[in-house]
Structure 1
């Protein structure tokens, strides 16, 4: 049909919606999240779960893009459910939405494979931004969580080849591992220059190579990688 007949040519297809499964043991929270997500363009709620076991079961059946996961749930908690989803449905991402911001909650959830971590007092705008970021393959961490990570890792020690005991992952060199540890410690580029006595250009080169090798898009993703792969040890 021609444009003269009222149908425009070359109309791009609409992007597929981000399919979300909501998992929370409180029905008021579940219903509220369904209403909230329902008014966001390009986001579709495909189901809700009352606990971690139901979240895994429904995710296997409904194949959502993202599970918006609470942590403190009965039967199977959110961290255990996240680990099971990473194993069974590697294409399904988990975005944690919880009240817990302590190390004992954050670190296990990230180790289990969560791609994002939000607190329940976050804004609707941040929830939407986090969903879109995680859907695009990036990591989203609430500012409070980022602060907790930096504080917890403020006394970390970068691994040495002898302590690692084996070849470093993803082709990282010992110097890149050292720089990665300092990034996880929260140091800026200038502070890394001072600590290692190298130039700004050299630091940037190391960081660019690190990000390429580990598939990180930003420092938050690099911190998560460093922690999950044993590049830092808390004192």
Structure 2
């Protein structure tokens, strides 16, 4: 069973990029990898990242590394032997697409069978009834981790969504009402009064 975290942030202006997180993503996404193969493969860049990582920790900084590709971790000695070995916290999103090739990752991250079973429950359990829309994440600190459900408000979701149909529908309201907050308020108000689900309402808006 996942634990639910509600993130009660104030409405912010949208941005195209995503904040980096210490995470091995298993999900598809529109953003480029944060550790491109060609750049990280360069000895100069690899040594710089290692220097940056160690220097930040000395000054009580918190370096954060994010990647979507297994090869970024398994195929690079700097990340595998230095960065991951010094990571106090590891966050994993949906790992289902890596399941057939998870032995190396499990060994690298010191994940026993119990922890692996937790990881493969991410977004896979029938636990959505009666709850708001949420995604799950596995967070490991020390030797053990837990799966948490992360829920944001509809306003937050629509502000930061990377789904093109949703972005297009919201942006049409923004253009109509002259500002992002006003357009988003009107969009959510019309969505709720329509009685439609988000996907159906988005299709209706984009068809107009």
Give me the TM-score of the superposition, normalised by structure 2.
0.28
